[in-house]
Amino acid sequence: MLHEFLEDQLGQDAANIIAKLLIVVVILLLTWIARGLITLLVSRVVPHITKRTHLKWDDEIVKALQPPVRFLVGVAGLWLAMLALDLPGRIENAFGQVGNALFAFGIFWGIYRLVEPLVEMVWTLSKRAMAGTPVPTVLDEQLSAAATQIGRAVIIILGFAAILEAWGYDVAGVVAGLGIGGLAVALAAQNTLENVLGYFVILADEPFIIGEYIIMGDVSGVVEAVGFRSTRVRALDQSLITVPNKTIANANIVNWSRLAKRRLNMTVGITYDSSPDQILGVVQTLREMLQNHEQVQDDSVVVQFVNFNDSSLDLMIICFANIVDWGDFQAFKQDVNLRIMNILGDYRAEIAFPSRTIYHYMMGEYPSTPESVPLPEPEPIHSTASDQPAGGDSQRAD
């Protein structure tokens, strides 16, 4: 009816153009309204629904899908507007390729954003399913991050292939071309490939996970992130250290966060004026104190008098404490040190410190050889006939 009215007033050509433009305006207006409704739905309605589930990941899924859905609605509106304009065949085909590429981009963008909340959902459900069982959950934080990274990488590759396909390129031919140049690429990116392989070695061997304290050569700190190329470690001075994964794969790693217990190994030196009874009493009391300590494995206690040192009598003290945290272990050592001081005070034994005794004699006071012990006289040595000089008398050698 609108077209007929415009045709009567302006003619057929003008009526066609104006009708098409009006349809395009209506389509774009409806597209804008649909995008606004999606935003309103996500910001107002969905939170009320997700509050009843008391779950985190369902809200994250909705928020992840909002931008891609708005993008796809906009692309659909532009596509319909382009169809309403009834453009020539070549222009329509060109716009069709662009539209297909944009549709593919929007779909894979949405899947890319869904990877993290979906992995979070699987992790949450797996922990709930395995709660109360002795079997540890498979999807811990490290594997969750790895699954997210690998999933996103796969989505990027598939999305790139889909966009190439939308533009009319033969993906199989492109892959074959990449295969021909793969050797050159591998040689050029050798270090990168080694780091990627090191990443999978870390995941498979699991020498550490995120949040654990490790020592690796001259690098020590808490692991913050494990990526495809490198691992980031936060040192105790809060500096961030980035270590290539290939270095980690070949390194000796000390993981202090996986201790089941800690070892106390110390030596206490007491002075040389301590009597044997004092030493035995101190040793026995120290041994009983550690065996009765609530944080010490009583069968691991070793307390013995082991050494005559230069300026001390050394007592060896060794035991294992059922402590993992470093701060708690320092508090335990403080408690043991205070108890040792009390025990030494009870037996009046003193802690030795490095010392040296110097004997000094005044001139004329240095002790001489007693006269009661005479020095032996040398015996005479007579020469033999073969030792006598020719034509002379025999000589006596003293």
So where are the chain's domains? 2-128+138-180, 209-258, 262-346
| Interval 37-91: pLDDT, tens | 877 777 666 666 656 655 566 677 777 888 888 888 888 888 888 777 776 777 7
CB 283 within 8 A of CB 323: no
Residue 291, pLDDT score = 92
Max Cα separation, the chain? 169
Nearest to 267 by CA among 237, 304, 233: 304
CATH number given to 262-346: 3.30.70.100
pTM confidence score: 0.49
Contacts of 67 (CB under 8 A, 6+ apart): 109, 113
DSSP string, 346-365: HTT--B-----------TT-
Contacts of 241 (CB under 8 A, 6+ apart): 219, 221, 232, 233, 234, 235
CB 225 within 8 A of CB 232: yes
Beta strand 213-216 pairing with 253-255: antiparallel
Contacts of 130 (CB under 8 A, 6+ apart): 136, 137
Mean pLDDT for the chain overall: 77
Mean pLDDT by 10 residues, the chain (398 residues): 62 67 82 82 65 63 81 84 74 78 87 84 66 45 72 84 77 58 56 80 83 89 87 91 89 87 92 92 94 90 92 93 89 94 92 78 56 53 46 42
Chain centre distance of CA 204? 14
What is the rounded distance in angstroms from the CA atom of residue 364 to the CA atom of residue 366?
6
Q: How many CB atoms lie within 10 A of CB 307?
A: 12
What is the rounded distance in angstroms from the CA atom of residue 315 to the CA atom of residue 121?
57
In the sheet that holds 262-270, the strands lie side by side as 262-270, 313-321, 302-308
CATH 2.70.98.10 fits 209-258, yes or no: no
Residue 128, pLDDT score = 63
Nearest to 320 by CA among 284, 292, 341, 290: 290
| Interval 7-32: pLDDT, tens | 666 666 666 677 777 787 888 888 88
Name the DSSP letter for residue 296.
B
